[in-house]
Chains A and B, each alone.
Chain A
Amino acid sequence: MLFFILSGGNALAHRVTVFAWVEGNTVLGEGKFSGGKKAQNAEIIVRDVKGKELLRTRTNKKGEFSFPIPAKTGMRIELIAGMGHKAEWIIPLEDIYDTPTIKNTRDSGTPPPAPPENTAPGQAAHPSVSIDPAQLEAIVEKAVTKALNKKITPLTGMVADLTQKGPTIDKIFGGIGYIFGLMGVAIYFSSRKKK
C-alpha cells in the first residue's frame, strides 16, 4: 500500500509504457509515463508465454530495471504503476535464443586464443599459420559482437524513445477534426429531422 502512496506523483499521467531488450544474459528495460517522466519504483512482473510468473522486480529511480534471463522462453513483461496504470512488453523466444549462443561462443572463445600464445614459443617463427580456423572464427565473432553491441546500444535507446513518444501534433489536430466532423453529422441529422 505504501508503494501506491509513494508512486502517487508518478501515476498522474494517463499512459505508462515499458520497453525491454536483451543484452547478453540479462534483460534490460525501462518504464516511462506519457510526458516523459520515469516510472520510478514500479513493480515489474515477468511471465512466460503461458502466463506463469517467473520473477518480480522493481524499477529504480531512473525508471530502469534489469534481471538475468530466468528461462529460455518468450517473456511477457508487465509493468504495474498503481492507480490503474499498467503496460506490457513482449520479448519473443528468438531474441533470447540468439544471445546465449553468442554468449557461449564468447565464453568458449576467450580461453582458446590465450593458450597458443603461452604454449607456443617454439612456433613463434610462424604464428600466423598456427591459428586454426575454429579459433579464428571465435575471435572474429567475439570482435564483431563487441563492435555490433557498441553500435546497437544507442540505437536501442532510440527505439525505446520512439516507442514511448507522446502524442504528435497531427494526431491532436486529427482528433479535434474528428469531433467537429461528428458535430457536422449531428447537425445534419437534426436539421433533416425538422423537415
Chain B
Amino acid sequence: MHISEGVLSAPVLGAGMALAFAGTAVGLKKLKEDKIPRTAVLSAAFFVASLIHVPIGPSSVHLILNGILGLMLGWIAFPAILIALLLQGVLFQFGGITTLGVNTVIMATPAVVCHYLFAGFVHKPKAISYAASFACGFLSVFFSSLVLGTALMFTQESFLAVAWAVVIAHLPVMFIEGLVAIFCVGFLKKVQPELLPKWSAARQQNTLAV
C-alpha cells in the first residue's frame, strides 16, 4: 500500500498532499480532548500493524488496520494515519516523504468512508454488528486498493489492470482484516462499549426500548 518515492508525477503528489492536508484539518478540528489518547493508541497500532507479516501461500502480506481506525475515529483517522505514515517513512523507509500525502489519502479516505457506512451498526445485535465489522475491515482494504489504482493510473499504467492486480494481491489481507475487525469490535463491546462510535446514541435507544 505504500507508494515509493519517484514513482508518481508531481501533480499527483501535489493533489495527494492537498487532500491529505484537508482531511487532516477536518480531523484535527474534530479531535476533542477525550479522544486524544484513543487516537494515539490507534495511531501506534497502525504504525506497528504493517510490520506484522502474515505468511499466506507464496506471498507474505501485512496488516493495514485502516478499517478499525476509521470505525473508531472517523475523520480523526486522517491525522492518526498521517503521523503513523510519517514515522514509518522516516524510521523504516516505507513509502517516503514526498509520497506521504498520497499514501495518507490511500489509507485514510476508505477509513472515513467505512466509518460513515458501518458505525451505525456496531451496537446492533451480535450477528449484524459482526457482519458490519467484517465488512468494515474487508472493504476498507478494498477501497484502498482502488484509490491506489487511481493514483498509479496517472503514471502510464492503466487503471483497470493495476486496480485489479492490487485487489487480487490484497484479497487475503481483506479477509484477515475483516476477522481482526470482528475480534476488536466483539472484545470492545464486552469490555468497554463506550469506546465504540455512536455509543451515547445507542444507549439512549436501548433505554428507550427498555
Interface of A with B (CB < 8 Å)? 1, 4-5, 8-16, 34-35, 37, 82-88, 166-167, 171-172, 174-176, 178-180, 182-183, 186-187, 190-191, 194
Interface string of B16-40 (1 = CB under 8 A from A): 0000000000000001010011011
CA distance A180 to B57 in the complex (A): 36
A residues in contact with B36, CB < 8 Å: 183, 186-187, 190
B128 proximal to A (CB < 8 A):
no
Interface contact B83-A182, CB-CB below 8 Å = yes
* B171: min CB distance to chain A, Å: 10
User: Which residues of chain B come closer than 8 Å to A183, judged between CB atoms?
Assistant: 36-37, 39-40
Q: Does any Cβ of A come within 8 Å of B59's Cβ?
A: yes
Closest 7 CB pairs of A and B: A9-B59, A183-B40, A84-B3, A8-B169, A14-B94, A14-B2, A190-B33
Measured in the bound complex, the distance between the Cα atoms of B44 and A182 in whole Å is 11
* Least CB separation from A79: chain B residue: B4
Do the beta carbons of A1 and B50 come within 8 Å of each other?
A: no
What is the distance, in angstroms, from B86's C-beta to the closest C-beta of chain A?
9
Give the distance in Å from the alpha carbon of A135 to the alpha carbon of B112 in the complex: 75
Task: Report A-chain residues with C-beta under 8 Å of the C-beta of B77.
Answer: none
Chain A residues near B50 (CB, 8 Å)?
Answer: 14
Q: Any chain A CB within 8 A of the CB of B123? A: no
Residues of B within 8 A of A (CB): 1-8, 31, 33, 36-37, 39-40, 43-44, 47-48, 50-51, 53, 57-62, 83-84, 87-88, 91-95, 148, 151-152, 157-158, 161-162, 164-166, 168-170, 173
| A167 partner, pick from B31, B33, B91, B166, beta carbons under 8 A | B91
Knowing that A12-B61, A37-B59, A180-B40 touch, tell me 9 more A-B residue pairs with CB under 8 angstroms: A8-B166, A8-B169, A16-B4, A84-B4, A84-B151, A87-B4, A175-B87, A176-B44, A183-B40
Residues in chain A near residue B161, CB distance under 8 A: 1, 4-5
Contact B170–A12 (Cβ < 8 Å): yes
**Given A84-B152, A179-B43, A190-B36: A171 and B91 interface contact (C-beta under 8 Å):** yes
CB atoms of A11 and B169 under 8 A apart: yes
Q: Given the known A-B contacts A179-B40, A180-B44, are A4 and B62 also in contact in the complex, defined by CB atoms under 8 Å?
A: no
Alpha-carbon distance A132/B43, docked complex (angstroms): 72
Q: Is the pair B44, A179 in contact by a Cβ cutoff of 8 Å?
A: yes
User: Separation in Å of the B90 CB from the closest CB of chain A?
Assistant: 8
**B40 contact set on A, CB distance < 8 A:** 179-180, 182-183, 186
B6's partner among A10, A37, A88, A187 (CB-CB below 8 A) is A88
Which residues of chain B have C-beta atoms less than 8 A from A191's C-beta?
A: 33
Residue of B nearest to A178 (CB): B87
A-B pairs with beta carbons under 8 Å apart, 7 shown: A8-B166, A82-B165, A84-B2, A86-B4, A175-B47, A176-B48, A183-B36
- Cα distance, A73 to B151, chains bound together (Å): 34
Q: For the complex formed, measure the closest distance between the CB of A122 and the CB atoms of chain B, giving whole angstroms.
A: 67
Q: Are A35 and B169 in contact (CB under 8 A)?
A: no
What is the minimal beta-carbon distance from A165 to any residue of chain B, in angstroms? 10
